[in-house]
Structure 1
């Protein structure tokens, strides 16, 4: 049995534009327009099961894409950054430069009081394992860091590679595989076909 999972990165919002650690904010007007345009172009993948990260931004993106019925999957929540939540990377870097440097260099570090990149990758990988146990295609609207973590896991890369994966808003990353071996097709924009 081949499992297929398409990860759609959420549309942009103020937190993403400002390089702000997720504050639970919504998609902005331009993100909603882009998601609706993707839906109207027919570029949105279909699935037997529809999942979403349990954030306002992901739920709004799923709705704008026409993925009605996408159920929140708690295991696909974004990286929990503790006391840094809502702050910009610049603000945190100015206030805690050593902590930020440690966090970026060591996947096991969690100086913010949240979860480490290593723990995060392990948590979201459980959802990928769950998808592999079922027939059909999963489409999941998720935060960009969830895509990063699942690409790292799918490729068997070290967690230090997490920071080296760029994920654009409203891009689709497709994972397909069987018996724990995954192939990755990364970063297809959800735009009108040429």
Structure 2
């Protein structure tokens, strides 16, 4: 059974603009307006999912309407960055340059005490492969790191390629196929 998953990265928030490890802040007014304007560009879907962060929930509500039912599967949760949460990359880089270097170079590293990139990639891949049982079309508003991890799964690339994928706000990445074989259409602006 063919599955279609449209991954949408969240609209702008203060955390995203400041390169801050997510502090679960809401969307900015301009980001919310952009998401509402983009709602008409999306295909009809059977399921609406979101990463359980304020900016993903807010983007999903803006795209589908406030009353839409949005599920938040654990497999789509943002990368757990442990004690770095709420700090900017510049702040962490100044305080712990070796730790940031290790985190960016080694997908298995967890200097922040949270989840490694490799663990995130495995979790997201398991979620994607599990969708093969559902069929139909799913819209998932997810953090950029989830999009990266699912693109790696789709093209069978290693976690070491994680940081080579840029995911701008309010872009759609489409995956279609079934467990074990995925096709990719990346980066369509909404």
What TM-score comes out, normalization by structure 2 length?
Answer: 0.96
Structure 1: how far apart are the matches of 2:153 and 2:179? 14
Q: Please name the residue that 2:123 is paired with.
A: 123
Q: Name 1:50's counterpart in structure 2.
A: 48
Gaps of 5+ in 1: none
1:75-154 alignment runs, 5 A limit: 75-154=75-154
Structure 2 residue matching 1:151: 3-state secondary structure: helix
Give the secondary-structure state (helix, strand or coil) at the position aligned to 1:65. Answer: helix
Task: Judge conservation of contact 2:129–2:179 (CA < 8 Å) in 1.
Answer: no
Residue equivalent to 2:9: 9
TM-score by length of 1: 0.94
Q: How does 1:27-46 map to 2 (within 5 A)?
A: 27-39=27-39, 42-46=40-44
Deviates more, 1:60-69 or 1:4-13: 60-69
Task: Please tell me the root mean square deviation across aligned C-alpha atoms, in Å.
Answer: 1.0
Paired with 1:46 and 1:22, the residues of 2 have a C-alpha distance of 29
Matches of 1:158 and 1:74 in 2, distance apart? 22
Q: Deviations over 1:123-163 (max 9, x none)?
A: 11121012112221111011111101110111110101110
Q: Is the 1:80–1:115 Cα contact (8 Å) retained in structure 2?
A: yes
- Asked if 1 retains the 8 angstrom alpha-carbon contact of 2:82 and 2:112, the reply is yes
Q: Quickly say closer, same or farther: Cα 1:110–1:179, change in 2 above 3 A.
A: closer
Runs of 4+ in structure 1 deviating by more than 4 angstroms, as ranges, are none
Name the SS of the counterpart of 1:108 in structure 2: coil
Partner of 1:157: 157
Q: Is the 8 A contact 2:130 2:179 kept in 1?
A: no
Distance (whole Å) between structure 2 residues aligned to residue 177 and residue 142 of structure 1 = 19
Secondary structure class of the residue paired with 1:102: helix
| C-alpha distance in 2 between matches for 1:114 and 1:153 | 22
Contact 1:131–1:138 (8 Å) recurs in 2? no
Q: List runs of 5+ in structure 2 lacking aligned partners.
A: none
User: Could you say if the C-alpha distance between residues 69 and 94 of structure 1 is closer, same or farther in structure 2, counting changes exceeding 3 Å?
Assistant: same
Number of aligned residues: 188
1:169 maps onto 2:182 in alignment: no
